[in-house]
Chains A and B, each alone.
Chain A
Amino acid sequence: MSPELLIAMLASTAAAATPLVFAAMGELVTERAGVLNLGVEGMMLVGAIAGFAVGLHSGSLLLGYLAAAGAGMAMALIFAVLTLQLQTNQVATGLALTLFGVGLSAFIGKAYTGQPIAAVPHLSLPLLSDLPLLGPLLFRFDVLVYASFALFFAVQWFLTRTRGGLLLRAVGESPAVAHAIGHPVQRVRYAAVLFGGACSGIAGAYLSTALTPMWVEGLSAGRGWIALALVVFATWKPLRVLAGAYLFGGVTVLQLYAQGFGLHIPSEFLSMLPYLATIVVLVLICRDGRTILLNQPASLGKSFHPDA
């Protein structure tokens, strides 16, 4: 295998992994606060079309990404009001959010189908990007790839090294106790859900402005659900989310290059790989019940209302 091919594969792996890092890292924070939001796919799709539309009309991708984060948060807010205020079932509400997001994005997106957009540019630093091997390996990605690593460090640092992170985890483990000590359980959960929404929105925008770059109905193709599976696979730990996302990115890319390697498998079977890999990975991690029991936030998916 030539170094050029290897570098190209690495670049496409990073591109495929980045939206997963964003979406899964956001969901991880939400779940660490004890809230299970199954609406990631829906928030991603709405973020994707918001980012695309605003980016196209304003000509500024930065504005597009802000809009995507905002749209993701707006979706998450619906979820938060329903589950946190009105105590609706988190599983059903998350499903509703996804179904709503699929419908809403398809409806808005109709006018944008097939329109071209200038993709997020790749970095080109005067000296660093031109370094012989390191340049293409480290300094030629688009800015979102670096941002996803920054997000990882920020989440890791927040959860393990700050009071806010400690509070968030306390709320996720035992909201009743956190409430009894006088912590604002609801506010923490709202913030966590909204953060997850913003991350999912950005993940969606990355799909429509960097990975594909265009709008197609349902372009997330289950990535939101894969992100949800990644959080379980990662046993709710940021570093494992990052590693898992790159593992999945690798599987996606493998499928693109498999035919180049002379593998004559129908493309449909190769396209199944990420979904089958998700199932296999879930089985591996869930096989031992203790792994999940020990790591899953204790109140995950359970409603809590301070007045009841």
Chain B
Amino acid sequence: MPSVAIFGAGPSGCYVAQALAKARPDADITIFDALPVPYGLVRYGVAADHQGTKGVIRQFERLFERQGIGFQGHVTLGRDVTLDAVRAAYDAVVLATGLSRDRRLGIPGEDLVGVHGSGAVTRAWNGFPGAEAPRMGRRVVVIGNGNVAIDLVRLLAKGASELHGSDILIEPGAGVQDITIVGRSPAEVAKFDPVMLKELARLEGCAITVSDLTGEGKVIEALDSLHGHAPAGSTKRLCFRFGLVPDRILGTERVEGVAFADGTVIAADTVLTAIGFDGEPGWSASDDGLLAPGLYAAGWVRRGPRGTIPENRTDAQAIAARIAADLPEGPGKPGLVMPGATDYAGWQRIDAAERAAAPEGRVRAKITDHARMLTLARQTGER
């Protein structure tokens, strides 16, 4: 049977596998991931208090549990195995490893203590192995006007009781009093989903004001109705500002504030940037994901670091259709069994341990220690 290796067990890699398994039931598909745990950004990017969104995992579990798709964890392409070796062993190779580097503002002061990128913060709050959650100061400025910025703001604004049902163990906004979210563009062109803004109207201990509101549309309506949200006994304040272009981050060692091009200065103890991700995928793919014969790119590697889970699903289906057409019939290349790789049963042991350790009001306690993950993944015996 023809063999397929997919690198990256995030949503794009899993959706490629799902569509490919449907189109080519004869294919032997293995998904590799650098971690012993699958699901990538569903586990480490989707906010901890959006468990419903993480529900797509139930589709992906089926790939491994019923559809015969293999999982080899703890395998890093380029470190544990070369791309050439993988291509020699598989009829098709899909790169779906994502892009995770935070885009930089490119202004002075960006490297001061207390300035953090949204990707690093989100990974830490989501329990990514080795990612340490930065301490938040009393006054936090969030720079960015997309849904990632809203995720940060919402988690900062929530009190411990509002994190019920999530899988976050810390309280990210402990000690935070003032949150300012700033966009360089006018409110009218902010990239917020209105539904994400409306969710903020349910914050129980945070008063909201919206300044610089101009124009019209669904985002403006949603922002307008947030203005004046003031639950009794609020201990936090959230302010939306627009049309402010960051000029430099102030401070000597630690951040002290943000100066904007129009002369506005906002005092801050912590600055979070949420202006997107970048990184060099190192390849340039055609629209259907083809990089070279038998080599494909999917997800953010192909389309750049943007787009929601549904958009990347549509994309993954198109790439799977291309691969299905290219795959040979009959016997194919033999595939690889990586020494030291962990398997799906190993992830199930980690999953069970995380669920069993969940404290009251949380759905799981993620294991954040890579070595402990490996130990659990490699345990054999009872299953």
Task: Report whether chain A binds chain B.
Answer: no
Q: Residues on A close to B: CB < 8 A?
A: none
Q: Residues on B close to A: CB < 8 A?
A: none
